[in-house]
Amino acid sequence: MRVVLAEDLFLLRDGLVRLLEAYDFEIAAAVESGPELAKALAESSPDVAVVDVRLPPSHTDEGLQCALAARRERPGLPVLVLSQHVERLYARELLADGSGGVGYLLKDRVFDAEQFVDAVRRVAGGGTAMDPQVIQQLLSRRAADEPLGGPTPLTPRELEVLELMAQGRSNAAIAGQLVVTERAVAKHTSNIFAKLGLPVSDDDNRRVLAVLAYLDRDGR
């Protein structure tokens, strides 16, 4: 599996290269700046890109913008964002196209190699890998932006269930967290899927895609 990696800190970039190679990934390119990332994505045809949000020369959101541009050129290009920051506007644009093959992890919340490698593989396979804190920030902002007269809004309880769904939790786990019955959770998930125009499903990836559908509603 070919990976393009973009990280401006040498020690972290080198460590990620060694880690991925130890798990039999092929590093197509390991770069440190936005222009280098754009070039690598255009020329290397990777199976997945692992990118930091803030890259030289701007040190703002250049990495994420390069990833968005690459996905416009190659729809469905798997992208895993690995960052210290949640850039809400561009993160929502990256996540909300509904095609899967996306992830957003916070560097200080990746606790072991297996967790990270599993996320890379899941994203490369068209799935999703989302840090719960990223989901929480995006959902809270999206709920605040819900337009009057727009799509049927989710209730506060449905938003809680949606957030826990995005973390990959089962109905039983959600029920335990919210101290309600599994039947109540099933009713909430059914309402969520209906409001978002999605078929009811217990598939973990599909449940995360419900979050992405919510982020993609009118009023972004």
Q: How far apart are CA 117 and CA 22, in angstroms?
A: 10
Q: How far apart are CA 141 and CA 106, in angstroms?
A: 18
Instruction: Point out the domain boundary residue: 82, 104, 129.
Output: 129
pTM for the full predicted model = 0.74
- 79 and 178 part of one domain: no
> Which structural domain range is residue 88 located in?
2-129
- 145 and 164 part of one domain: yes
In a domain, 166, yes or no: yes
- 169 and 78 part of one domain: no
**Residue 84 neighbours by CB distance under 10 Å:** 11
In a domain, 220, yes or no: no
* pLDDT of the residue at 96: 65
72 phi, psi to nearest 5 deg: -70, -35
Pairing type for strands 128-130 and 102-106 reads parallel
- 12 and 51 part of one domain: yes
CATH number of the structural domain spanning residue 108: 3.40.50.2300
* pLDDT of the residue at 220: 42
Helix (H, G, I), strand (E, B) or coil at 8: coil
Q: How far apart are CA 133 and CA 142, in angstroms?
A: 14
Q: How far apart are CA 208 and CA 193, in angstroms?
A: 11
- 58 and 89 part of one domain: yes
- 97 and 197 part of one domain: no
Which regions of the chain are under pLDDT 50?
148-149, 218-220
51 phi, psi to nearest 5 deg: -130, 145
* pLDDT of the residue at 170: 83
- 172 and 67 part of one domain: no
- 91 and 154 part of one domain: no
- 140 and 124 part of one domain: no
* pLDDT of the residue at 94: 75
Domain count, the chain: 2
- 121 and 193 part of one domain: no
- 7 and 83 part of one domain: yes
Instruction: Point out the domain boundary residue: 95, 129, 163.
Output: 129
Taking alpha carbons only, the member of 160, 156, 133, 142 closest to residue 212 is: 142
- 125 and 177 part of one domain: no
Q: How far apart are CA 124 and CA 87, in angstroms?
A: 22
